[in-house]
Amino acid sequence: MKSVVAKLRCPKCGSTDIAEIIYQPVELTESLIEQIRTRRVVLRPAPAGAPRLKYYCYYCGYEW
Ligand SMILES: [Zn+2]
């Protein structure tokens, strides 16, 4: 399964080292575990009331 983040760039620093943020609870499929292992996905607890940002930049820490 090809990750959607492969083509993304950070709007702030231009880095392509981007992960998709997935909020728990979520079913840990083999595909998802593989994407976490390869740093294409980060798991987060679901924020209460806060906006759910979709992407995270490993380089500068920016989230959008
Ligand atoms: Zn960045």
Look at residue 63 and tell me if it is in a domain: no
Does 10 reside within a domain? yes
Asked whether residue 22 is domain-assigned, the answer is: yes
Domain that holds residue 25: 4-57
Q: What is the pTM of this model?
A: 0.85
Q: Which of 40, 37, 48 is closest to 21 using CA atoms?
A: 40
Give the Å distance between the CA of 46 and the centre of ligand 1: 22
- Give distance in angstroms: CA of 45 to centre of ligand 1: 22
63 contact partners, CB below 8 Å, separation of at least 6: 21, 53, 55, 56, 57
Per residue in 3-42, pLDDT (tens digit) is 667 789 999 999 999 999 999 999 999 999 999 999 999 9
Count of domains for the chain: 1
